[in-house]
């Protein structure tokens, strides 16, 4: 568990749950899901002391649920946002060491880029002066942002114009935006992987045998599309809720509330870009498969057309050979010395004429690729 007391002049980290706040600022309590489950009584008591209200039971269940999709809910005193981030997922913790990863992530099949399409929920409880985050064990996103937050509190960072989040809602949106950036990076890797598969599918002389991975890719893209849709719905609900907020000191006044709206719309725009790109990748993958089977069908048609032409050429030759193979005693040219050559010449001439005819009609031409 990491606890940060964020004030206009800096950030102070502590390992103890704070008491009642004096003066400006707010508190960020970041804890693992197992830590929250074990220490929820102490955390609830802290929230009661700081905000005058505890989390309701249903929201406690939401924050502890590792399978919950992204969604938004609220009460008159606080807001709840659950947002699924890219993660290895399914990591458990040791009860004697809450917050420490005990097992390795479940191994997934397919290319490395597809193994990254696994998610785990991060829960946010946004009070006026407290931000409570409940994350899976080993959550690198929160660790990275905590490091960035401490760096932003230095004198050098403040001199460079880096501003600290003025209130808990702004801090939550910055963390969520960092999660969405992970999806934006993933889409570039997915594009490269699918481009590689498309080149293999459409190669005229290649044989594509990696159908299992391609099927995994289509399923993963569909799963990612559903995840992003849930994220978009949650942020849209959050934006609609912001319209009912009062411009008070906890929201930073009218300017602070407008900045929250701007950040929220920016996060929503990033999510919509991911959704649009994922759907385009799904369409590209489906189109590549259809084009592959179309190319295979054309190749089969070329082969069958060639075999049909060869059969048509040899049919009259077989007819001539069959006639001279009959067991009649009197057959023209059968007992003449030049009869064999006349028959061979006729067969050769027939084959050449039919070959030229089929060539002129483009029956022997290959389909252009």
Give, rounded to a whole angstrom, the gap between the first and last alpha carbons of the chain.
Answer: 61
Which neighbouring-strand residues pair with 32?
135
Give the strand pairing for 93-94 and 97-101: antiparallel
What is the rounded distance in angstroms from the CA atom of residue 131 to the CA atom of residue 248?
17
Name the helix (H) or strand (E) containing 252: none
What is the rounded distance in angstroms from the CA atom of residue 134 to the CA atom of residue 3?
12
The answer, yes or no, to whether residue 90 has pLDDT greater than 50, is no
> What pLDDT score was predicted for residue 95?
41
pLDDT in tens, 46-80: 888 888 888 999 999 888 888 888 899 988 889 99
Which tokens belong to 60?
């406690």
| Mean confidence (pLDDT) of the chain | 78
Which tokens belong to 292?
């592959």
Q: Which CATH number fits domain 2-294: 3.30.460.20, 3.30.70.270, 3.90.1560.10, 3.40.50.300?
A: 3.30.460.20
pLDDT in tens, 310-352: 888 888 888 888 877 777 777 777 777 787 888 888 888 888 8
pTM: 0.69
Name 118's Cβ contacts closer than 8 Å, sequence gap at least 6. Answer: 86, 87, 88, 89, 90, 105, 108
Between helices 168-201 and 253-324, what is the axis angle to 10°? Answer: 10
Q: Where are the beta strands (DSSP E) in the chain?
A: 2-7, 10-14, 26-32, 71-74, 79-86, 93-94, 97-101, 119-126, 130-135
pLDDT in tens, 189-224: 777 777 777 777 666 666 666 666 677 777 777 777
- Per domain, the residue ranges of the chain are 2-294, 301-360
What is the rounded distance in angstroms from the CA atom of residue 129 to the CA atom of residue 170?
12
Which tokens belong to 254?
């009218």
Distances (CA, A) of 172 to 30, 169, 178: 11, 5, 10
> What pLDDT score was predicted for residue 132?
92
Q: Give DSSP secondary structure letters for 229-294.
A: HHHHHHHHHHHHHHTT----GGGTHHHHHHHHHHHHHHHHHHHHHHHHHHHHHHHHHHHHHHHHHH
Which tokens belong to 77?
């005193």
Tell me, rounded to whole angstroms, the distance of Cα 242 from its chain centroid: 29
- What letter does residue 56 receive in the DSSP assignment? P
Q: Where are the beta strands (DSSP E) in 75-146?
A: 79-86, 93-94, 97-101, 119-126, 130-135
> What pLDDT score was predicted for residue 94?
40
Which overall architecture, per CATH, does domain 301-360 show? Up-down Bundle (1.20)
- Confidence at 93, pLDDT banded by 50, 70, 90: very low
């Amino acid at each position: 568990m990491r606890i940060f007391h964020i004030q206009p002049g800096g950030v102070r980290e502590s390992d103890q749950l704070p008491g009642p706040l004096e003066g400006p600022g707010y508190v960020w309590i970041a804890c693992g899901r197992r830590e929250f489950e074990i220490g929820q009584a102490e955390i609830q008591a802290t929230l009661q002391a700081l905000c005058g209200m505890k989390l309701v039971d249903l929201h406690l269940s939401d924050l502890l649920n590792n399978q919950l999709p992204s969604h938004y809910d609220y009460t008159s005193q606080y807001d709840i946002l659950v947002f699924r981030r890219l993660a290895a997922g399914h990591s458990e913790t040791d009860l004697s060491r809450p917050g420490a990863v005990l097992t390795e992530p479940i191994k997934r099949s397919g290319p490395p880029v597809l193994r990254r399409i696994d998610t785990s929920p991060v829960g946010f409880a946004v009070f006026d002066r407290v931000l409570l985050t409940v994350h899976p064990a080993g959550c690198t996103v929160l660790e990275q942002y905590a490091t960035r937050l401490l760096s932003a509190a230095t004198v050098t960072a403040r001199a460079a114009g880096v501003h600290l989040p003025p209130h808990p809602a702004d801090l939550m949106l910055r963390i969520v935006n960092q999660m969405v950036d992970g999806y934006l990076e993933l889409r570039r890797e997915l594009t490269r992987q699918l481009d590689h598969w498309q080149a293999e599918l459409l190669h005229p002389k290649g044989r594509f045998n990696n159908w299992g991975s391609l099927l995994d890719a289509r399923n993963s893209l569909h799963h990612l599309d559903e995840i992003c849709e849930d994220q978009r719905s949650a942020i849209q609900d959050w934006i609609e809720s912001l319209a009912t907020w009062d411009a008070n000191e906890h929201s930073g006044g009218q300017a602070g509330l407008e900045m929250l709206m701007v950040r929220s719309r920016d996060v929503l725009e990033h999510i919509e870009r991911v959704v649009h790109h994922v759907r385009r990748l799904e369409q590209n993958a489906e189109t590549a498969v259809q084009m592959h089977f179309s190319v295979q069908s054309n190749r089969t048609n070329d082969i069958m057309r060639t075999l049909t032409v060869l059969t048509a050429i040899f049919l009259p030759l077989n007819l001539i050979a069959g006639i001279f193979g009959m067991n009649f005693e009197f057959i023209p040219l059968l007992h003449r010395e030049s009869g064999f050559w006349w028959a061979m010449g006729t067969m050769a001439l027939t084959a050449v004429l039919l070959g030229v005819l089929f060539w002129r009609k483009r029956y022997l031409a290959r389909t252009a690729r």
